[in-house]
Amino acid sequence: MKWLLRAAVAAAIVGALWGLSYVLHEHVIEYVVRIAMLCGMNIILAVGLNLINGTTGQFSIGHAGFMAVGAYTTAYVCTQLAPEVAGVLGTGFLPDAVVFNVGLIAGAALAAATGVVVGVPSLRLKGDYLAIVTLGFGEIIRLLLTNAEFLGGATGFSGDNPTGLSPYTNVFWVFLWVVIVIVVIRNVTFSQTGRSLEAISEDEIAAEAMGTPTTRLKVVAFTLSAAAAGIAGGLFAHLQGSVRPDDFKFDRSIDMIVMIIVGGLGSITGAVIGGIFVGVTLELMRDLSEYRLVLYSLLLVIIMLVRPQGVLGKRELSFSRLFPKKAAKPARAAGDEKP
C-alpha cells in the first residue's frame, strides 16, 4: 500500500514536471527558461554541498572540481554512446533519454569516485584539512582539463558535432534530477547516518566515543556531495553545448558556498533558497561581470554580521512542521504511535 502510494506520487511528480517542461519551453521566452534551469542546477549543487559543509561541518571549497568531472564525463560518455544507441533504438525521445541519463549517472559515479580519492586521505584527520585539499583539487582538475588534448584542452569539449553537444538538458530532466537529489539527501539526512553526521559536526570526539565510524561517514557524505555536483555538471554541459575548463574556476566554488551560507548551513530547504537566490542574482548582475564577486563578498560580510546562521539557520522549512508526518521526524512520530 505504502509503495503503491509512493509510485502514484512519483508518477504525479513526473507528470507535473513533464507538463511544466512543456509549458515553459513552448510558451515562455528562452532566457527565463534558461535561468530556471540554471537555478535547478544550483539547487542540486547547494543541496549536495550542504551535506558535507553544513550537516557534517567539513568544509569543501573546491566543489567546482567535481562539477567539472561530472560535466566532462557526461559530455564524453554521451558523445560516445549516442551513435551506438541510435543504431539500436533510432532517434527520438527514448534513445536521447537513455543516452543522457546513462551519461549523467556515469558523471555522478566518476565524480563520486574522485570524491573518495580526495576524501579518504583528508577526512581521516580532524580539522580543516578538507578545505585546503579541495582548494588544491579544484585547481588541479581545471589544469588537467586545460592540458587534456583529447578533451579539447583550453578551448573545451563540444563533441564531434559542429553544433556542439546535443541539447539534452531541458526543464524536465533538470527538475527530475533536482527531485531525486533532494529526496535522496533528505532521506539520508533524516536517518541514523544524518544524525551521526550532525554529531560529527557538533563534537567529533564525543561522536567517536559513542562508537560512530567518523572517517567512514565523513567520506560517505563527501562522496554523495561530489556525486550531486557531478550530476549538476552533466546537466550544465548539455545546456551550454560545450564545456570549457574556465567554466569551473574557483569563483564557481565560491558561488556554491554563497548559496549554502545565504540559505543557512545545515538546512536543505535553505540550500534550495540559496541556489535560487544565486541563480537569479548572477543573472541580474551579469553586466557587472567581475564586480559581482565584490558584491558577493559584501553580501557574505553583511550576512555574517546580521544573520550568521543564514536565512533558515539549521531549521527546515517543511510541511511536516505544520502537519506532522511520520517521515519528516521519524523519531518523534514513532513514539506517538505507541498504544
84 contributes a contact to another protein by CB under 8 A: no
Residue 209 or 306 having the CB closest to another protein? 209
268 contributes a contact to another protein by CB under 8 A: no
205 contributes a contact to another protein by CB under 8 A: yes
Neighbouring C-beta atoms of residue 198, cutoff 10 Å: 17
337 contributes a contact to another protein by CB under 8 A: yes
188 contributes a contact to another protein by CB under 8 A: yes
* Distance in angstroms (rounded) separating the CA atoms of residues 183 and 219: 20
Q: Which of 87, 92, 335, 339 binds another protein (CB under 8 A)?
A: 335
Residue 161 or 191 having the CB closest to another protein? 191
Report which secondary-structure segment, H or E, holds 36: helix 30-50
The DSSP secondary-structure symbol of 329 reads: S
* Distance in angstroms (rounded) separating the CA atoms of residues 283 and 35: 7
Question: Cβ 266 to another protein, closest distance in Å?
Answer: 9
Contact 276, 100 (CB under 8 A): no
Contact code string over 312-331 relative to another protein, x by CB under 8 A: --x-----------xx--xx
Task: Please give the distance of CA 93 from its chain centroid, rounded to a whole number.
Answer: 25
* Distance in angstroms (rounded) separating the CA atoms of residues 262 and 254: 12
Grid cell locating 159: 563533441
Residue 28 or 327 having the CB closest to another protein? 327
Residue 84 or 203 having the CB closest to another protein? 203
Query: 283 CB contacts (<8 Å, ≥6 apart)?
Result: 35, 38
Q: Which of 169, 196, 225, 267 binds another protein (CB under 8 A)?
A: 196
220 contributes a contact to another protein by CB under 8 A: yes
* Distance in angstroms (rounded) separating the CA atoms of residues 255 and 262: 10
From the list 274, 240, 233, the residue with the least C-alpha distance to 114 is: 233
50 contributes a contact to another protein by CB under 8 A: no
* Distance in angstroms (rounded) separating the CA atoms of residues 131 and 224: 17
Q: Which of 87, 90, 92, 211 binds another protein (CB under 8 A)?
A: 211
Q: Which of 212, 240, 253, 267 binds another protein (CB under 8 A)?
A: 212
Residue 25 or 216 having the CB closest to another protein? 216
Burial group, residue 320, by CB count within 10 angstroms (0-12, 13-18, 19+): middle
Residue 25 or 326 having the CB closest to another protein? 326
Residue 93 or 319 having the CB closest to another protein? 319
Q: Which stretch binds another protein (CB under 8 A): 63-71, 144-152, 200-208, 256-264?
A: 200-208
Query: 263 CB contacts (<8 Å, ≥6 apart)?
Result: 46, 50, 269, 270, 271, 272, 273, 274, 275, 277, 310, 311, 312
Which positions touch another protein (CB under 8 A)? 183-184, 187-188, 191-193, 195-196, 198-199, 202-203, 205-214, 220, 314, 326-327, 330-332, 334-335, 337-338
